[in-house]
Structure 1
Amino acid sequence: MRSLPQLPTMPHTGTMKPFPGDWSRALAIVAHPDDVEYGAAAAIARWVREGKSIAYVMITSGEQGIEGMDPAVCGPIREKEQLASAARVGVTDVRFLRYPDFVLEDSPGLRADLVAVMREYRAELIVTLNFRDKWPGGDFMNSSDHCNAGSAIVAAAMESGVVRWVAACTSPVSTHGVDVSDFVQDAVASLQEHREYLRGLGPDDSSLQMLQENLTHGGVQLGTEAAVTFELIPIEGASR
């Protein structure tokens, strides 16, 4: 993903609900390598420390994500960077579905693959990135890859029979927050592992700064020093 837009104003204290903790297995499923690192990785670092089981699923390899680099070269680089990034927050199980980047569609085949992986991992919680049309602030359009990934993920979660919630990080309609006051540097280190990707964004890229600012804004909403905010979507019919 490209850098998140800076949130426009400081939100009100205490507007987020605490994230539920009565789960043990989660999958972070996102469209591209680096999508987890723009916020959610801080929460994942905390959850791993708490003993929860978490794995990553990348729908594409982000092979179109570095301008001027051949996709055949870019894809393996971004996969390698994602493995290093996940390790920074204690995640060692990372899977790449290798759907085509930049033209991702919410297809029956993708939904079927996602249902299969959710059932394989017996995932109670699915963590993903904002898939609404816009980012917080109202004027910044989201990418079609993120939107299509999100709709496929929610549909697959409903079909899976095991998923209890889908949690979309940095949604403009976020409802819940996770206190990550002790895990900001873990998130920064995780994003920094995407070295070639960040280099490709140019010398003026402010991804790391914006990551920290977004975590600070989330903290204000939750009433903590730093927090990750999520739109939490309950999934009916999950087995317990």
Structure 2
Amino acid sequence: MKPFPNDWSRALAIVAHRDDVEYGAAAAIARWVREGKSVSYVMITSGEQGIEGMDPAVCGPLREKEQIASAARVGVSDVRFLRYPDFVLENSPELRADLVAVMREYQAELIVTLNFRDRWPGGDFANSSDHVNAGSAIVSAAQEAGGVRWVAACTSPVSTHGVDVSAFVHEAVASLQEHQEYLRGLGPDDRSLEMMQEILMHGGVQLGTEAAVVFELIPIGGGTSDGDQPDS
């Protein structure tokens, strides 16, 4: 596992759903913000189908509110919602055009997203089609936008790079905890908080630190995957 490159200043986290950032990547974002890097969030859907038994018209705005509070926990104040339909997301020309536009607007060098491979690490669980389609659209848009150097997919089964977040686990936990209604909707036996911490601990084993966020780092334009000027 190589150290993550550190020679960049502007990142844009683009994910399919509210809470996708919080399952791992938020810890790295907390570190990057502390180091003075600019990070903003773009949520493709509102996650309005994400709480069983709740009307999507109620769920969507509620989850947007929770995401804003969650982002604030890691120092991110700029959160944008594209409001594409949840659970039926497609890699469409319209989505790719919208993503190109926001990448150019933010002049992002690094695009952070969630694993978009067919399966999660370990191979036992299939990935959501929303994640797969979002990731494919993001890579295509990054290639078209210009200025993007990497797409970094968190918790990919073919991760290549890691960020030491040993000092930022607390911020990551607090960020996920802000999704209060979502977590409550998962039921009393939900292990989301424990699972997220386990992901960070396993990443630390891979990187050789106490805790780490691991990414599949995809070079786009002018970036390399060799860990130039690595995180230290």
Q: Which residue of 1 aligns with 2:201?
A: 216
Q: CA deviation at 1:84?
A: 0.1
Separation of aligned partners in 1, 2:195 and 2:128: 18
Q: How does 1:30-69 map to 2 (within 5 A)?
A: 30-69=15-54
Once the 2 structures are TM-superposed, how far is the Cα of residue 237 of structure 1 from its aligned partner?
5.9
**Alpha-carbon distance between aligned partners in 1 of 2:42 and 2:75, rounded to the nearest angstrom:** 15
Matched residue, 1:123: 108
Quote the offset at 1:184 in angstroms: 0.2
Residue in 2 that maps onto 1:19: 4
The reply to whether residue 173 of structure 1 matches residue 153 of structure 2 is no
Kindly indicate whether the alpha-carbon contact (under 8 Å) linking 2:147 and 2:221 is maintained by their aligned counterparts in 1. no
The match for 2:92 among 107, 118, 130 is 107
Question: 3-state DSSP class of the match of 1:219?
Answer: helix
Q: Is the 8 A contact 1:31 1:145 kept in 2?
A: yes
Cα deviation 1:1-28 (Å, max 9, x = unaligned):
xxxxxxxxxxxxxxx1000000000000
Alignment counterpart, residue 85 of structure 1, candidates 66, 70, 74: 70
CA RMSD of aligned residues (A): 0.7
Q: Deviations over 1:91-136 (max 9, x none)?
A: 0000000000000000000000000000000000000000000000
Quick one: distance in 2 between partners of 1:59 and 1:203? 28
1:137-171 Cα shifts (integer Å, max 9, x gaps): 11200000000000000000000011000000000
Query: 1:229 is matched with which residue?
Result: 214
Aligned to 1:98: 83
CA distance in 2, matches of 1:119, 1:237: 16
- Runs (5+) with no aligned partner, structure 2: 224-232
Please report how far the alpha carbon of residue 236 of structure 1 lies from its aligned counterpart in structure 2 after TM superposition.
2.8
Q: Which residue of 2 aligns with 1:153?
A: 138
**In the alignment, residue 129 of structure 1 is paired with which amino acid?**
L
Q: Could you tell me which residue of structure 2 aligns to residue 144 of structure 1?
A: 129
**How far did 1:74 drift?**
0.1
TM-score (norm 2): 0.95
Report if aligned partners of 1:43, 1:180 keep a CA contact under 8 Å in 2.
yes
Report the Cα distance in structure 1 between the residues aligned to 2:221 and 2:63, rounded to whole angstroms. Answer: 35
Amino acid in the other structure paired with 2:183? L
AA partner of residue 82 (structure 1)? Q
Q: Percent identity?
A: 87
What is aligned with 1:197? 182
Q: Which amino acid is the alignment partner of residue 105 of structure 1?
A: E
Distance 1:27 1:155 in 2: 15
Which of 180, 188, 191 is the matching residue for 1:206? 191
